Structure 1
Amino acid sequence: MDHEFARCFTKDLDSLAKEVELCNEEILWLVLPGITNSIGNLTQHLIGNLNHFIGATLGETGYVRNREREFAEAYLTKTEMIAKITETSAMLEQVIGSLTELDLLKKFPYETFGYEMTTGHMITKLASHLGYHLGQINYMRRISTN
């Protein structure tokens, strides 16, 4: 099924890859005053988040997430980060593209936010989360390069 959700994620992940591409290694890991995370840490977080909740949970990819590491370490180079974004995008297209309308109405396996929700609702939350951090990354990059 060619799903709108997959197109939404693909568009935003393409934008994320472009943002990372525009950063040098210093800016990628720069933590601006009054900000808690770097562009690199937020990008690692988005890669981990999507691979966990969509890849491992819905697509049974076997991905094992280490959320704390996403924020605590600079474990991906810029080149690796862009490659992981591309891999994540391909995974999303495959997993989300395989979901049926009935799958989207099923209960999502985790109560991540303390309440039950459908898989479709969780995918919407994940798309919103990606967009939120993408906006932060865009502003952080522009502030850091001026």
Structure 2
Amino acid sequence: MVLEELIRLFERDIKRMKVEIDAYSKEENLWKVDQKITNSAGNLCLHLIGNMSYFVGKEIGGFDYIRDREFEFSGKNVPKSELIEMMEKLENVATASLEGLDECMLEKDYPLEVFGGKMSHTYFLIHLFGHFSYHLGQINYHRRILDK
């Protein structure tokens, strides 16, 4: 039951991220920063894709993925069409990974100690959802402020 709801929430917000990224009127604005907004929408998008692909796709779903966290924040000018393609792949991988997770695993320990200690799959998936939503909101504000 909880797993189905998490799947729906992640699918919803990945779709929302695609809409946000696609809504940029000028592709170069995806990569804009200023003195108070230091992470571009493009980099936040790359970060969310990397984060979910690694922690859900690789660690839960067993999909091959090599994370380049440095590029998530330093990479520039990835075409909008490529970002959208990456998000579509993420949606498929995240959904398949979570659908493949047995509900009884939710209370068992997540395989990595991300925060320096053990935590359940449920705890970490809720954390990942909050993390995703937080950065999705930042992308929305970035677009409304810097996409002029």
* Shared fold, TM over 0.5: yes
Q: Report the residue type matching 1:110 in the other structure.
A: L
User: Which deviations, in whole Å up to 9, do the C-alpha atoms of 1:75-127 show, x marking residues without a partner?
Assistant: 63110100111110111111111212211111011111112100111111111
The corresponding residue for 2:98 is 96
Matched, 1:66 2:68: yes
Give the whole-Å Cα distance in 2 for the aligned partners of 1:92 and 1:57: 11
Secondary structure, aligned partner of 1:107: coil
Contact 2:47–2:69 (Cα < 8 Å) also in 1: yes
Q: Deviations over 1:54-89 (max 9, x none)?
A: 001111111010101110112631101001111101
Q: How does 1:77-116 map to 2 (within 5 A)?
A: 77-116=79-118
Question: Which amino acid counterpart does residue 111 of structure 1 have in structure 2?
Answer: E
Moved more, 130-139 or 112-121: 112-121
Change (3 A) 1:122 1:75: farther
1:1-146 pair list within 5 angstroms: 3-23=4-24, 24-74=26-76, 76-146=78-148
Summarize the Cα distance change of 1:44–1:54 in structure 2 as closer, same or farther, 3 Å threshold.
Answer: same
Cα RMSD, aligned residues only: 1.4
- Residues 50 and 75 (structure 1), Cα distance of their counterparts in 2 relative to 1, 3 Å cut: farther
Determine helix, strand or coil for the equivalent of 1:35: coil
Distance in 2 between residues matched to 1:68 and 1:145, nearest whole Å: 25
Q: Would you identify which runs of 4 or more consecutive aligned residues in structure 1 move more than 3 Å?
A: none
- Match of 1:88, as an amino acid? L
- Name the CA distance, whole Å, in 1 between partners of 2:56 and 2:147: 33
Greater displacement, 44-53 / 93-102: 93-102
Residue correspondences, number = 146
Report the secondary structure of 2:118's partner residue: coil
User: Which structure 1 segments of 5+ residues have no match?
Assistant: none
Query: Offset of 1:28 from its aligned partner?
Result: 0.3
Cα deviations by residue, 1:115-145 (Å, 9 ceiling, x for unpaired): 2100111111111100000000001101123
